[in-house]
Amino acid sequence: MNNYLDLSILEIHNLLKEKKIKPLDLVMEAFERIEEKKELNVFITLCKEEAIKKAKELEEKDVDNILFGIPVAIKDNISTKDIRTTCASKMLENYIPLYNATVIDKINEKNMIIIGKTNMDEFAMGSTSRTSYFGPPLNAVDKTRIAGGSSGGSASAVAAHLIPISLGSDTGGSIRQPASYNGIVGMKPTYGSISRYGLVAFASSLDQIGPMSRNVYENALFLNTLIGKDEKDLTTTDRVEDFTRYIGEDIKGMKIGVPEYFMKEDVNPEIKNHVEKIISMLKEHGATVEYITIDYIENAVTLYQIIAMGEASSNLARFDGIRYGYASGDREDLDMFYKKTRAEGFGEEVKRRIMVGSYLLSGENAEIYYNKALSIRDDIKKSFEKAFANYDLIIGPTTTTTAYKLTDDLDNPIKAFLDDILVIPVNMAGLPGMSIPIGKDETNLPIGLHIIGNFFEEAIMYKLAAFIETELKKIGEGK
Amino acid sequence: MNNLSEKDVKHVADLARIYIKEEEIPKYMVNLQSLLNEVDKIKDIKGYDDEMLITPVNHETIPRKDEMKETLTFQEVSYLAPKVSGNYIEVPVMIHE
């Protein structure tokens, strides 16, 4: 087997451009690697035939951009025309979309090659990917541990070098948390940066697609192609930007805030220690780093539970067994048919969240819970805005622990939310957040640094992230 | 939140259009209760202002024009439907005589 997929995207690009390799070499190597590591269970659907066909077609085309011919994996809640899109649910086990998500059209325009659809928590609800109908994907670093979630398959596939880059989605940390657990780079851009058209809706006011990669530069490069206005998603912003433009620049004079809440006592001491080392390193290089407070940040998980479950109950009402998806065999009575279809088609986590969400939005509860959550959400956003008046970026740990055992905390319905306690505030405000690897704990499990930027300031986040990545490489840490 | 009764669980499942078996009720009484205890923490939060954040975007959202375009045909979409009769998607009986 060749080892082209261990090279950087830039190195692969140069080989393609010089015609030393063909896209087909990359595709065949990807499938060999996937077969070799199939116990990771990171893919729900593989697109071998389509990928080979595409790779052969590309042989006739000019290598006109850096992502040309690069294999990519797509989280299985992003619609791919003629390729099964299951959301890791029995409900959509046999669903083959009639259209592409906007991000898939963008990937196709760049002539990237889709290798497969990655495993995830069912309908992106969870923090471990264990709620998948297809069984959990495994952590690429330690197969006895969770890959994180909900974009667990996308994270593990990149970390295991099965493909160079992937797409995830992040409603309450679902890109950044698995990125941290697998030791890769994951970016959730500013809400409205990337079209959600074709992303199966979980909580519409929080959902955002984002890139997952092995290094900072490639992440920024991929984000360049994904952003932009889309008339099919009114929340998108008209943006054309090169997110790599500050990479390599000095960080002298940069002002960085660290919310005290992010370094509280329930963060694992080893993780805290690694973050503190980064803080010292940044200070040594001329950055100012200060502890700050963000109002209501400690309430973000409660707000998230209400907003996400409420919106999910509404969004998932469409799965009724009539037009597409799973249908119960009991067709005696329409109401019972709906109920049985949903009882048989959805897994436990999804059912629980829909039930609680329906309750939270019913009658006067909408005022007591959902509207109040939106009011406090506004205060969190304002508090972040106040912080960004004085600081360029905010940092902290991505997670309170490293990846835990696959069998831990299986019966605790609250655990899924607590795993994301440090990443959820970003979704509340709609801000961009990313995780980068900054080292490993004593059992060799990756630790992530969470970087939060002001609205639409991903380029500055990449600057800091790349600086840290380079400095850690010098001392042999990070990966 | 007061403790959930069996009746509450059935009501919530009904709202969600999810069928639950009698023997599942005790499990949901525990699981839903723990989630509701969590969301109830919102009742203790004070001092916030009333302005709501409905969507995090600040730009004006202008809907696209409602223009006639070619759409998918019934044949293209019907293979996704669990039951089809001729040119119709079949639904279960709605009104019993």
The answer to whether the CB atoms of A352 and B89 lie below 8 A apart is no
Q: For tokens 């809706």, what's the residue?
A: A201
Question: For an interface test with A, which of B39, B55, B57 has the most A Cβ atoms less than 10 Å from its Cβ?
Answer: B39
- In this structure, is residue A373 part of a structural domain? no
DSSP E strand boundaries for A194-299 = 209-213, 255-259, 288-292
Which residues, at least 6 apart from A145, have a Cβ–Cβ distance to it below 8 Å? A138, A139, A181, A403, A404, A405, A406, A445
- In this structure, is residue A415 part of a structural domain? no
**Chain mean pLDDT for chain A:** 96
Q: Considering A150, A151, A156, A213, which one is annotated as catalytic?
A: A150
- In this structure, is residue A50 part of a structural domain? yes
Contact A465, A471 (CB under 8 A): no
- In this structure, is residue A62 part of a structural domain? yes
DSSP B25: H
C-alpha torsion angle, residues A97, A100, A101, A102 (rounded to 10)? -170
In a 3-state reduction of DSSP, which class is residue B79?
coil
The answer to whether the CB atoms of B54 and A374 lie below 8 A apart is yes
- In this structure, is residue A446 part of a structural domain? no
B33-44 average pLDDT score: 95
Distance (Å) from the alpha carbon of B11 to chain A's nearest alpha carbon: 9
- In this structure, is residue A125 part of a structural domain? yes
Does A317 score more than 70 pLDDT? yes
The CATH number that applies at residue A109 is: 3.90.1300.10
Q: What token pair was written down for A319?
A: 């799965």
pLDDT per residue over A429-468, tens digit each? 999 999 999 999 999 999 999 999 999 999 999 999 999 9
Does A322 score more than 80 pLDDT? yes
- Nearest Cβ partner of A377 from B53, B76, B93? B53
Which residues, at least 6 apart from A280, have a Cβ–Cβ distance to it below 8 Å? none
- Nearest Cβ partner of A356 from B32, B51, B82? B32
- In this structure, is residue A430 part of a structural domain? no
User: Over pLDDT 70: what percentage of chain A?
Assistant: 99
d(CA A243, CA A457): 9
ipTM, two decimals, is 0.94
pLDDT per residue over A136-165, tens digit each? 999 999 999 999 999 999 999 999 999 999
> Nearest Cα to A295, choosing from A375, A365, A189, A366?
A375
Structural domain range at position A55: 4-226
How many interchain CB pairs under 8 A, A with B? 166
Chain A contact set for B58 (CB, 8 A): 455
d(CA A171, CA A188): 9
Active site residue A150: yes
Does A478 score more than 80 pLDDT? no
CB atoms within 10 A of CB A286: 11
pLDDT at position B2 is 66
Please report, for chain B, the start and end positions of each structural domain, with discontinuous segments joined by +: 6-43
Q: What token pair was written down for A217?
A: 């530069």
**A324 inside 8 A of chain B by CB:** yes
Q: What token pair was written down for A427?
A: 């979704």
The answer to whether the CB atoms of B39 and A306 lie below 8 A apart is yes
The answer to whether the CB atoms of B92 and A414 lie below 8 A apart is no
d(CA A110, CA A62): 11
Which residues, at least 6 apart from A150, have a Cβ–Cβ distance to it below 8 Å? A120, A121, A124, A125, A126, A127, A129, A169, A171, A174, A178
d(CA B50, CA B57): 18
Active site residue A75: yes
pLDDT per residue over A74-98, tens digit each? 999 999 999 999 999 999 999 999 9
Total domain count, chain A: 1
What are the strands of the beta sheet with A393-397, ordered from one edge?
A43-46, A113-118, A71-75, A165-169, A209-213, A185-188, A433-440, A446-453, A393-397, A255-259, A288-292
d(CA A195, CA A189): 11
Distance (Å) from the alpha carbon of A192 to chain B's nearest alpha carbon: 7
Nearest CA in chain A to B45: A299
Q: What type of residue sits at position B30?
A: V
Distance (Å) from the alpha carbon of A2 to chain B's nearest alpha carbon: 40
The answer to whether the CB atoms of B42 and A375 lie below 8 A apart is no
d(CA A452, CA A433): 4
